[in-house]
Every structure is written in structure tokens, then in C-alpha cells.
Amino acid sequence: MKTQVCVIGGGPSGLLLSQLLHLKGIDTVVLEKHSREYVLGRIRAGVLEHGFAKLMREAQCGERMDREGEIHEGFLIAHDGRLDRIDLHGLSGGNSVVVYGQTELTRDLYDARARLKGTVIHDVEDVRLNDLHSGRPSVSYRQGDEVVQIECDYVIGADGFHGVSRKAIPRTVLREYEKLYPFGWLGVLSRTKPVSPELIYARHERGFALCSLRSQVLSRYYIQVPLTDSVDDWADDAFWAELKRRLPDEVAARLLTGPSIEKSIAPLRSFVAEPMRYGRLFLAGDAAHIVPPTGARGLNSAASDIYYLYHAMLAHYQRGDDSGLDGYSAKALARVWKAQRFSWWMTMLLHTFPDRIDYERKLQQTDLDYLLSSEVAQRSLAENYVGLPF
Ligand code: FAD
Ligand code: DHB
């Protein structure tokens, strides 16, 4: 089999790039380890930057997002029994975010790929990347007993943190930066009316909590839990009771509870791999970087990689200009590190750290006091949360 661009990973990064390139007449093949149903069963991100929403429209995938997604012009910070609002719209010069689940967004991308008869191959095993430093790289995979080889011009590693693409870069070339946090987020999806029309990020001495939503009838809540906890330790009633304890009384009083329809724990991690290019391989999204979810940057950082790669590929195929491909790693990493800084900062601001000394606790309190009393500090938060320019 032959294609121009072989994309490894059928998550949002891989599908979006494949769709954008297809619309410009560039041939792609997407290889995905799991079935479509499995990929669509994962509940992950919920907040899209306005730049990401624009890219979805450019990919002709924005229709349902624009109809069903909610525009959010602010969010709330709960602390010390009260609520303060961050006016994203006013503070960022008129920008906002779209609340639209990653599951729905991925479904729209799969539907769009099917509409255009794009090649997306599911249930591939033993994916291998070959000859990345030659002018003619290839990717092989196995499906049942059959081994297939795809010859291509470029390979895109969009196969997430646990994928094979990053591992194809020699250890002598790859540098990895990592920080682990001593807790995870326990997330619950429930078919209940959200407690608040805007997201609530709650700081509490018992641990962080987040009230989010997918629609006016579907809520998404998270609480900080120790890494040693498992989902089985948290019956629904225990989850709701703990969430209520971490919210201001007036919010807890109006929280509607119900059976969980999904419950999972995600550990918090910061991670960056450099460089994001090796020969004819380009890494994108979680394959190259992970953020703790606090600032809602994970999926959005993937989108900015795709934006840069898309334009670099267009310049190559349409004008024979390789400057975008040559500059991809440096350009993508500059923005990735800003998302890292912001996610780390929001995580440090809002979580309870078991081994913090009193001095650090005082600084954390002062950081929050400063944020809530300074318009300059809030502008910085808003600028990062709605998304830095691509
Ligand atoms: P992925 O979505 O991971 O997609 C990669 C795809 O590659 C997957 O479908 C995988 O099956 C496939 N794959 C893996 N290995 C191979 C292989 N060898 N061959 C072929 N295919 C392969 N971000 C937020 O902003 N907010 C959140 O609340 C949030 N919650 C999250 C919860 C969890 C549990 C996780 C893991 C992530 C969360 N994120 C969140 C981050 C966000 O979901 C990711 O940043 C986003 O999914 C990145 O998209 P991606 O396409 O780069 O990677
Ligand atoms: C959601 C997740 C986040 O990490 C976040 O910062 C905001 C919202 C969510 O899943 O809805």
C-alpha cells in the first residue's frame, strides 16, 4: 500500500490532521490500534479553545459542535466557602471557550473521515516504523495473520502517550522531561443537570474538585484522590458526599446526584519529549506531551501541533517549501512549554499536596489571594485558558 502521509493513531490529533490534509488533496492512511467503539468509549477532555473550534470548522467538522457545544465566557473558583468568577471574555479581549466533549468531537471526526471515504484502519497490531531517515519511510502493521506494509513520504506519530512512535526515536536523540504528581482525578459522568452553568474549579483542604458538564442534562465531576485509590474504593454515594464536602455550602445544597454512567481515575503527569521530529517522523499530541488536566490544555495542545503540521505539510506539497517542516519541532515546543507552565501553575494553585511544608501552604494561599485581587493576574489566567495564539 502507498500513501503520502501515514498517521499512527486514530484519536483526535490523527483524525483531525488526516481530515484537513484530505480536504487539500493530500492522501493519508490512519492506523488505529482499537475499534471505533472503544475509542469513542473513552471520556476525556471537555473544554476547547476558540482556535481549536476554528480548526474544527476548517476541517468541515464544526456543525454539531456549533449547534450542541456551549460557549463559556467565564468560570468560577470556589475557595474558603465562597465563589469568585473569572470573566474570560472581558479579560481576554472578547475570547471564550467551547464546552464540547472529546467523545463527541472524535465522533464528528470519524463521521467526516467516513463521509470523504478516508482510509482509517482499526484493530492494527505490531505497528513498526521503518527507514525514518531515508527518503522513503514505511510503516508496517499486522491484522490477524496478515502483515501489511505502507510506503509513504511522512509518518505522523499521533498515537498518544503509550504509543510506539515516540519509542522509534533513538534514546541518544530523545530527551524526556517529566513530573509526576502524588494524586489523581476521580471522574464521574452522570445524567443530571449540572450544578452550575459555568465550570467550578474548587480548592479545598480535603483536595481539589471540579464541576464540569457536557450538556444541560449531562454533568462531569472530578475530585482529587490519592494515587493508591481505585475506582472500586468509590461507590457513587461516597463520591457525591466527598464532592459536596469540597464545595461551598450553597453549591453543595443544589448539587443533583444520580447514578454514575462512567467512573475512572486519571493520574496527573507533566511530560514533554524533545525533539518532536526525527527524520520523516513528526510527533503530535499526547505522543509528545502530557499535562495535568487542571487547565484543560491537553487536547488543546494537541490541536496546536496539528495546526502547525497541517500548514507545514501544505507548504511542502503545494509550494515545495520545507521551512515549516524544518521548523515544526521548535515552533510546536515553544507553545507546548507555555501550556506546560500554565497547567503546572493551575495544578499547584488548586490542589492539596500531602507533603507541603507550611511555608509552601502560605505561598499557595498568597498566590490565590493575588490572583483574585489583581486584574493583571486574572488577565494572564484568561489569556492562557482561552488559548494562546497558534
Ligand atoms: P489520544 O487521544 O491518546 O489518541 C491516540 C490514539 O492512538 C488512541 O486512539 C490509541 O488507541 C491509538 N494508539 C495507541 N498506540 C497505538 C499503536 N501502537 N498503533 C496505532 N494506534 C495506537 N485533557 C483535557 O484537556 N481535559 C481532560 O479532562 C482530560 N482528561 C483525560 C483523561 C485521561 C484518562 C487521559 C488519558 C487524557 C485526558 N486528557 C484530558 C487529555 C486529552 O484527552 C488528550 O490530550 C487527547 O486525547 C490527545 O489526543 P491525541 O489524539 O494526541 O491522543
Ligand atoms: C474538564 C476537564 C478538565 O481538565 C478541565 O480543566 C475542565 C473540564 C471536563 O472533562 O469537562
Closest C-alpha among 273, 271, 278 to residue 297? 271
Main-chain phi, psi angles of 296, to 5 degrees: 55, 40
Average pLDDT over the chain reads 97
Ligand 2 atom having least distance to the Cα of 44: 10
pLDDT at 308: 98
Work out the average pLDDT over 85-94.
98
CA 321 to ligand 2 center in whole angstroms: 38
Residue owning the nearest CA to atom 53 of ligand 1 = 160
Ligand 1 atom having least distance to the Cα of 9: 7
DSSP, res 258 = -
pLDDT at 99: 97
C-alpha neighbours within 13 Å on the C-beta side of residue 100: 26
pLDDT tens readout for residues 140-190: 999 999 999 999 999 999 999 999 999 999 999 999 999 999 999 999 999
CA 287 to ligand 1 center in whole angstroms: 8
Best mutation site among 44, 212, 381 for ligand 2, i.e. most ligand atoms within 8 A of its Cβ? 212
Ligand 1 atom having least distance to the Cα of 284: 52
pLDDT tens readout for residues 258-310: 999 999 999 999 999 999 999 999 999 999 999 999 999 999 999 999 999 99
CA 262 to ligand 1 center in whole angstroms: 17
Angle between the N-to-C axes of helices 298-319 and 323-350, in degrees from 0 to 180, rounded to the nearest 10: 170
Calpha distance 275→300 (Å, rounded): 19
DSSP, res 42 = -
Q: What share of the chain in percent tops pLDDT 70?
A: 100
pLDDT at 352: 98
Calpha distance 24→5 (Å, rounded): 13
Quote the distance between the C-alpha of residue 1 and its chain's center: 32
- DSSP run (H or E) holding 55: helix 50-58
CA 290 to ligand 1 center in whole angstroms: 9
pLDDT at 118: 98
The DSSP secondary structure of 330-383, one letter per residue, reads: HHHHHHHHHHHHHHHHHHHHHSPPTT--HHHHHHHHHHHHHHHH-HHHHHHHHH
Ligand 1 atom having least distance to the Cα of 264: 34
pLDDT at 323: 98
Q: Give the number of other Cβ atoms within 10 Å of residue 372's Cβ.
A: 15
CA 213 to ligand 2 center in whole angstroms: 8
378-to-77, 84, 343, 373 alpha-carbon distances in Å: 12, 11, 15, 8
Quote the distance between the C-alpha of residue 9 and its chain's center: 14
The DSSP secondary structure of 66-84, one letter per residue, reads: HHHSEEE--EEEEETTEEE
Q: Residues lining ligand 1, CB < 6 A?
A: 8-14, 31-34, 39, 44-45, 102, 124, 127, 158-160, 163-164, 266, 285-286, 293, 296-299, 302
pLDDT tens readout for residues 332-356: 999 999 999 999 999 999 999 999 9
Residue owning the nearest CA to atom 5 of ligand 2 = 296
CA 15 to ligand 2 center in whole angstroms: 21
